[in-house]
């Protein structure tokens, strides 16, 4: 079974260690104050945490896959009965678990669970989208020219996450300003 092999746990442990370290830093007295000021809106906080999980996971997954491809370190592909298990599988499973957690309202009952589910969603999206080209081509094209489709999918999704975090206040302000100008012209 793959989960009994030590290298099976390296990728999740690296991602968890980085996200845990960032969470610990954000819980420090001064940073916690700044964090609370910036993320008073829970939706914006969830988008931010999903973005952090996504971008950290993209960096770690790409680093590990490059190491596997070049035979660096203890990393190797995970196989069961001679069948390679792509990290897309783990991404889909995590997306299912995260979605189920939100269906149960687990993220609204306790703030820390919502934060954990948000980061897990970002990690899961990274794992799944990193092999987006596999979805489209139904064959392993990770290192082939067609593998570029995965970069494009990750770039689009990352941009949407970032836009949600950083663009929300701007777009709300822009819509308010346009509405104000329209009502002012009608009044005149």
What is the dihedral sign for C-alpha 32, 35, 36, 37?
positive
Q: Which domain holds residue 47?
A: 2-187
pLDDT for 89-147, tens place per residue? Answer: 999 999 999 999 999 988 787 888 999 999 999 999 999 999 999 888 878 888 888 88
Higher pLDDT: 170 or 10? It is: 10
- Under 8 Å between Cβ of 84 and 123: no
**Could you say which DSSP state residue 27 is in?**
T
Q: Virtual CA dihedral for 80, 86, 89, 94, nearest 10 degrees? A: 110
Q: What is the mean pLDDT of residues 148-165?
A: 91
pLDDT for 17-36, tens place per residue? Answer: 999 998 888 888 778 888 88
**Percent of the chain whose predicted confidence (pLDDT) is above 70:** 96
Number of compact structural domains in the chain: 1
pTM above 0.85, yes or no: no
């Amino acid at each position: 079974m793959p989960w009994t092999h030590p290298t099976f746990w390296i990728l999740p442990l690296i991602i968890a260690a980085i996200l845990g370290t960032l969470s610990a830093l954000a819980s420090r007295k001064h940073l916690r104050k700044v964090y609370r000021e910036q993320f008073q809106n829970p939706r914006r906080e969830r988008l931010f945490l999903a973005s952090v999980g996504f971008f950290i996971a993209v960096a770690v997954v790409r680093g590990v896959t490059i190491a596997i491809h070049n035979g660096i370190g203890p990393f190797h592909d995970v196989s069961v009965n001679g069948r390679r298990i792509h990290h897309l599988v783990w991404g889909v499973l995590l997306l299912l678990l995260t979605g189920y957690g939100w269906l149960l309202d687990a993220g609204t009952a306790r703030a820390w669970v919502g934060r954990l589910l948000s980061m897990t969603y970002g990690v899961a999206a990274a794992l799944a989208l990193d092999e987006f080209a596999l979805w489209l081509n139904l064959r392993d094209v990770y290192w082939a020219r067609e593998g570029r489709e995965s970069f494009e999918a990750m770039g689009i999704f990352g941009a949407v996450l970032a836009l949600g975090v950083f663009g929300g206040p701007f777009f709300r302000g822009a819509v308010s300003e346009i509405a104000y100008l329209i009502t002012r012209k009608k009044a005149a």
